[in-house]
Structure 1
């Protein structure tokens, strides 16, 4: 069983929806109203944050905190906004807390909480920014994701693994820029 097997559900990639940034802003407002200055960074990450990019219709949100151990105290607060804390992912990725919102089979938001300036936050932000600045690369990534969604069915580990070489290539290029 892989890292993401707990999140297995039908993988559906759709064309970009201009409503995704609006949904992010709504979630951001709720999270900031609840967490306030406990949060050092709150960013829209993932494919729904890149205009024109095909994506799973799930809003990914990065939250940067000063101390992850201290942030453990925020788990009940975040859960009060109907997020589900997924502690099983900490076994493989202890540098972050992961939450999802929605139902077991249809997630609407993913929340990634990590320490400020940790690669668990900085890498997806750098990747997002590169795709925003390079629409052709974003289109290629979208096509790859659509193909992987067809091929992987409900296997989230296979879907994530299938994207990794592309992501690493983009990150190497972005680092040189």
Structure 2
């Protein structure tokens, strides 16, 4: 199949190269802004909390300039209405069959064909919720871990420049080391 035809309906942002940027103090404010906006949109669907997670939530850590957020919901029963509602605010739904992560519902906020935020919508009680917070909090309090993670991320961004899944998977060993030590 002709490659141009194969990717015809796939958005540009789906194939963005991995680009690690220097830490930006504005990420914290952007995280607060996105978190508050999402809470205002999603509270009508029973979302009680939205958290800023990921590298942009950790001071002094280089990162992809994408604000990662997670929100918890009782069930995915209203996902179609949530998708419809979030689409009004530039959020694009990546269904589980494309995302490959059945434990979450994943959304990408896009501006000018670039990812600006990710939303990991999880059901209450999902074990990854606490792991995300634990990882973030450990790095927030340990400059040595931040330095080590920055080095790993930089190397992996070069190695997996056009392979987001490979990049994410390659970070797993470090993340597990932080979580379980």
TM-score bracket relative to the smaller structure: 0.7 to 0.9
Aligned in 2, Cα 1:15/1:151: closer, same or farther, shift over 3 Å? same
What whole-Å deviation, never above 9, does each CA across 1:43-101 have from its counterpart, x for those lacking one? 00000000111111100000011112244432211121110001155662111110001
Deviation string for 1:84-124 (max 9, x for gaps)? 00115566211111000125962100011001231232211
RMSD of Structure 2 on Structure 1 (CA): 2.0
DSSP 3-state at the match of 1:68:
coil
1:122 aligns to what?
A: 130
* Runs of 4+ residues over 6 Å off in structure 1: none
Q: Does 1:61 align with 2:69?
A: yes
Q: Which moved more, 1:97-106 or 1:112-121?
A: 97-106
User: Are 2:167 and 1:164 equivalent residues in the alignment?
Assistant: no
Structure-to-structure mapping, 1:24-173, within 5 angstroms: 24-36=31-43, 38-89=46-97, 92-102=100-110, 106-173=114-181
For CA contacts below 8 A with separation 6 or more, give which structure has more relative contact order.
Answer: 1
CA contact (8 A) 2:96 2:106 kept: no
- Greater radius of gyration (CA): 2
Residue pair 1:58, 1:110 contacting (<8 A) in 2 also: yes
Contact 1:15 1:53 in 2 (8 A): yes
Q: Give TM-score, length-normalised by structure 1.
A: 0.86
Q: Any stretches of 5+ residues in structure 1 without a counterpart?
A: 1-5
Give the TM-score normalised by the residue count of structure 2. Answer: 0.84
Q: Which runs of 5+ in 2 are unaligned?
A: 1-12
Q: Say which of 8, 20, 42 aligns to 2:15.
A: 8
Which SS does the other structure have where 1:140 is aligned? Answer: helix
